[in-house]
Each structure stands twice: as structure tokens, then as C-alpha cells.
């Protein structure tokens, strides 16, 4: 039984290990009918497995010999490459030493010419930068290419290259003194490129019909290849263009620029920018009057409203006082005014021959009634003049609070974060003073005018009383005689 069990185990192992591969390719043999037949089949399968194992071992040994030969070949190739690398490294070091020796020999033979050519390259580099930034390049394009080539060259410059440098220097100096019209590409505020007639004043300012323009220059990167640069130029044109700023400087500059561009007069005033665009950028960034007033915030708006109200009141009062004063001083005036109303209040009493004391009382009463009319709204104007600087002080404190909050949150690294608070603090102070000072002056003028009219009324009343007393005395003398 033990032998039979071993035979069965060997049978299954041979079927699983050795015959599993061929089972999918060849049909399975018929089943054994007895143990003797099973034993024969097991022994035959064992012999087949032995032959297959021998064949696999033979193939493995053959592959091993081939791999060893390949390994040997690769090792020999590595050895040859290392030897070649050592030879090349040695040659490289020898060449470096030779280059240093030749460079020293070249410098020795050049002598003063070496320093001269170095200065030429330095001058070419500096001149190339100046020409690229100059708005003259907007008219004469491509002037800096040859200078860049000369500046980056490691060989001795040729006579033609030296002449090119000289021509560029002379041409730039000549163009600096020109005032001329030319055609140039201008990028508008909407981003569109248009060819316009420009007026160039040396290398300082360029003007168009819409105002001052700024030279953009060639902003393409040096890393872009020439082929790519040519393709870009074919599609979008040259980058040496002028840009119309979204905002223009104040009208006092623009009016001069317009007169200069039109060229109607033989003598005109020119506006130039010695910084070649820097001052124009600063002028464009300056806030307009509306933006400055907006910096005052709500408090600034309130101050402006109070100022307008006070200005309206005091203007109305000054106009009323001016008319009264003109009518009072005009003896032929027939219009009703303060003096005529005062005199009309005692006209009937004088005709009726009333007592002087009664007439005096009525005159004083009429003058007292006219004083509030003459001084109408002046007290309110004085109050507004006093409130305006107080509101300015309030805006100053509020702006400083905003500034300190910005410092606490963001630090002092960026002054722009503190600009809003400081602008509000300063603008409210300025607005408060701008409102208070004129209102105080106009209030003083209106008050003095009102007092002058009141003084005239009192003088006329006193004269009327004196005339009435004189008439009474004459009548009494007539009666006595």
C-alpha cells in the first residue's frame, strides 16, 4: 500500500509539474484501467521528465556561455572608452593651457590696442542701450543691432564696425537737435496699433494728434532666436512703437503741446522731458482735481457742501448789500431801499408836524428793523466758517487712525498701504482751510458793508432830525415875531 501511494503521488506531481505545459497542446491520454498500466505510465512519464530537464539544463549552460561572452565584450568596450576619455581629458587640459598661453601672447602683442578695443566694445554696449531707449529709434529703426553685435564680439573689430559705431554716435547727436514730423506706429488706449503722424522734439518728447506719446522701444527678449523674432515681426510688426498713455498731463501742458503740434505760429513754446519719458510718467500719475477731492472721503464731501452753502449765502448777501449801497448813494434812484423805507416811516409824521421826539423814536425803530435785513445769514456764514476747519481736523484724526490701522496690519514695508489714510488726513485739512479762509474774508466784507449802510441810515436819520428841529425853530421865530 505504501508503494502504491508513492506511485500515485509521483503520478500527480508529474502531471502537474512536467506535463502541464503540453496538456494544452496535446490531447490527454486515456485513463489507466489497472494499477499495472498506471505504473507503466508513471515510469514512462518520469523518463520523459528526465530528458526534458536535461534539455533545459543544456540550454541554460549554452545561454550562460553566451552571456559571459557578451559581458566580456562590454567590459572590453568600457575599458576602451575609459582609455579614450583619459586621452581626451588630457588633450582638453593641454588645449586649455594652450589657450591661456595664446591669450596671454595675444594680449602682449596687442598692447594698447587691447584696451582700445575693450573700450570700443564698452562704448558700443552703452550706445546700444541708449539708442534702444531713445525715441529717435521710433523713426530710424534697427540702429542698435550692429552695436549689439560689436559689443558681444570676441574678435577684433573691423574698420567697418568702427565706422558703424562712429556713424551711430554722430547720427544720434544730429537727431537730438531736430524738430520734425515722421510716420510712426502708435498703440492707442484701446490696444489698437495705428500709423500716425508724429512730431519729434529731439530725443525728448514725441507728440501726436491725441497728445503726448511715450516710446516703447524694442521689448523683445534676447533669448528669442532670430527666426522666431522674424516671424513675430511679420505678424505684429516692429516692436519699436509709441504708446498713447491712458491719461494725459494737465491742460497747461497739453495746450502748449497742441500749439506746437499744429505749428500755426512761427514762435511757440515747446514742452520737453529731459528724462526722456520719466517726467511724463510722473505727470500722468498725478491725481486730477476730482481725484484729489475724492481723497477727502465723506468728511471732505461734507466740507465742500458746507463751503458751497456758505459761499452761496454770503454771495447773495453781498449782492443785496451792493444794490442797497448803490441805490442809497444815488440821489436820483427811485427804487425802494433801506434808506427810503426809513424815511417813509416818518414822512406822514413830518407832514403832520409831529414832535421831534416822536419822529426820533420812529426813526430808531425803522433803523432797528433794517439791521436784521442787512445782516441776514451773516451769523450762519460765520458759523460755517468756524465749522469747516473743525471738520478738517476731524478728517485729519480719522485719516491718521486709518494709517495706524494699516501699519498695524501690514507693517511699514509698503508706503502705498498708508497712502489712503494720509491723503484723507491732509485733504480734509486743506479743504477745511480752503472753505474757512474765504468765508471768513467774505463775512468780514459783508459785515463791514452792512455796518456802512447802517451808519448811512443813522446819518440820514440824524440829518432829518436836525432839519426838523431847524424848521421848528424857524416856525417858532415866525410866530413870535
Q: Which among 203, 296, 291 is positioned nearest to 247, based on CA atoms?
A: 291
Helix (H, G, I), strand (E, B) or coil at 262: helix
pLDDT band at 107 (very low <50, low <70, confident <90, very high): confident
- Cα 252 from chain centroid (whole Å): 22
d(CA 408, CA 397): 16
Take residue 126 and report the three cell numbers written for it: 552703452
pLDDT digits (tens, 9 = 90+) for 413-438: 777 777 778 888 889 999 999 999 99
- What is the reported pTM? 0.53
Q: Of residues 226 and 341, which shows the higher confidence score? A: 341
Asked if residue 38 has pLDDT above 80, the reply is no
Can you give the pLDDT at residue 479? Answer: 66
Burial class (CB in 10 A: 0-12, 13-18, 19+), 355: exposed
- In terms of DSSP bridges, do strands 193-201 and 205-208 run parallel, antiparallel, or are they unpaired? antiparallel
d(CA 261, CA 206): 10
d(CA 441, CA 17): 120
pLDDT band at 350 (very low <50, low <70, confident <90, very high): low
Are residues 315 and 449 in contact, defined by beta-carbon separation less than 8 angstroms? no
The secondary structure of 117-140, three-state, reads HHHHHHHHHHHHHHHHHCHHHHCC
Can you give the pLDDT at residue 123? Answer: 85
Helix (H, G, I), strand (E, B) or coil at 206: strand
**196: phi then psi, degrees, rounded to nearest 5:** -130, 165
Q: Which among 265, 269, 267, 264 is positioned nearest to 205, based on CA atoms?
A: 269
Cβ count within 10 A of residue 147? 25
pLDDT band at 378 (very low <50, low <70, confident <90, very high): confident
d(CA 295, CA 403): 14
Asked if residue 275 has pLDDT above 60, the reply is yes
Are residues 363 and 346 in contact, defined by beta-carbon separation less than 8 angstroms? yes
pLDDT digits (tens, 9 = 90+) for 183-227: 888 888 777 888 888 888 888 888 887 777 888 765 543 433 344
Q: Which among 206, 209, 220, 218 is positioned nearest to 276, based on CA atoms?
A: 206
d(CA 450, CA 254): 46
Q: How much of the chain, in percent, has pLDDT values that exceed 70?
A: 69
* Distances 178 to 136, 162, 273, 349 between C-alpha atoms, Å: 10, 25, 15, 88
Amino acid at each position: 500500500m505504501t508503494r502504491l501511494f508513492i506511485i500515485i503521488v509521483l503520478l500527480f506531481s508529474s502531471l502537474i509539474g512536467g506535463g502541464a505545459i503540453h496538456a494544452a497542446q496535446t490531447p490527454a491520454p486515456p485513463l489507466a484501467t489497472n494499477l499495472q498500466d498506471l505504473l507503466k505510465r508513471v515510469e514512462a512519464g518520469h523518463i520523459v521528465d528526465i530528458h526534458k530537464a536535461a534539455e533545459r539544463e543544456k540550454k541554460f549552460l549554452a545561454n550562460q556561455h553566451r552571456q559571459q561572452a557578451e559581458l566580456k565584450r562590454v567590459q572590453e568596450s568600457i575599458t576602451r572608452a575609459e582609455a579614450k576619455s583619459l586621452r581626451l581629458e588630457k588633450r582638453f587640459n593641454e588645449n586649455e593651457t594652450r589657450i591661456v598661453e595664446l591669450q596671454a601672447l595675444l594680449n602682449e602683442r596687442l598692447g594698447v590696442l587691447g584696451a582700445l578695443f575693450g573700450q570700443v566694445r564698452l562704448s558700443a554696449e552703452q550706445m546700444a542701450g541708449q539708442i534702444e531707449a531713445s525715441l529717435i529709434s521710433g523713426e530710424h529703426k534697427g540702429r542698435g543691432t550692429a552695436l549689439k553685435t560689436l559689443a558681444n564680439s570676441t574678435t577684433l573689430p573691423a574698420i567697418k564696425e568702427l565706422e558703424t559705431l562712429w556713424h551711430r554716435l554722430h547720427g544720434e547727436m544730429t537727431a537730438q537737435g531736430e524738430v520734425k514730423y515722421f510716420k510712426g506706429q502708435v498703440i492707442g488706449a484701446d490696444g489698437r496699433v495705428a500709423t500716425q503722424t508724429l512730431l519729434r522734439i529731439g530725443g525728448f518728447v514725441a507728440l501726436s494728434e491725441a497728445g503726448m506719446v511715450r516710446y516703447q522701444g524694442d521689448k523683445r527678449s534676447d533669448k528669442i532666436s532670430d527666426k522666431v523674432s522674424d516671424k513675430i515681426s511679420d505678424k505684429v510688426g516692429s516692436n519699436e512703437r509709441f504708446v498713447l498713455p491712458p491719461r494725459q498731463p494737465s491742460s497747461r501742458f497739453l495746450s502748449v503741446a497742441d500749439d506746437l503740434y499744429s505749428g500755426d505760429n512761427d514762435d511757440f513754446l515747446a514742452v520737453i522731458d529731459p528724462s526722456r519719458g520719466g517726467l511724463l510718467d510722473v505727470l500722468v500719475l498725478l491725481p486730477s482735481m476730482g481725484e484729489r477731492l475724492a481723497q477727502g472721503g465723506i468728511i471732505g464731501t461734507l466740507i465742500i457742501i458746507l463751503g458751497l452753502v456758505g459761499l452761496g449765502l454770503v454771495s447773495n448777501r453781498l449782492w443785496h448789500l451792493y444794490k442797497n449801497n448803490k441805490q442809497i448813494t444815488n440821489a436820483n434812484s427811485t427804487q425802494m431801499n433801506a434808506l427810503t423805507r426809513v424815511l417813509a416811516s416818518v414822512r406822514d409824521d413830518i407832514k403832520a408836524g409831529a414832535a421831534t421826539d416822536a419822529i426820533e423814536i420812529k426813526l430808531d425803530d425803522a433803523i432797528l428793523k433794517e439791521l436784521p435785513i442787512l445782516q441776514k445769514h451773516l451769523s450762519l456764514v460765520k458759523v460755517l466758517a468756524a465749522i469747516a476747519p473743525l471738520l478738517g481736523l476731524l478728517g485729519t484724526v480719522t485719516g491718521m487712525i486709518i494709517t495706524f490701522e494699516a501699519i498695524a496690519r501690514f507693517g511699514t514695508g509698503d508706503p502705498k498701504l498708508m497712502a489712503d489714510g494720509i491723503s484723507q488726513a491732509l485733504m480734509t485739512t486743506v479743504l477745511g482751510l480752503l472753505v474757512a479762509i474765504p468765508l471768513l474774508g467774505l463775512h468780514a466784507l459783508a459785515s463791514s458793508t452792512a455796518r456802512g449802510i447802517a451808519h448811512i441810515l443813522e446819518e440820514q436819520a440824524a440829518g432829518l432830525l436836525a432839519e426838523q428841529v431847524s424848521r421848528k425853530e424857524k416856525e417858532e421865530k415866525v410866530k413870535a415875531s
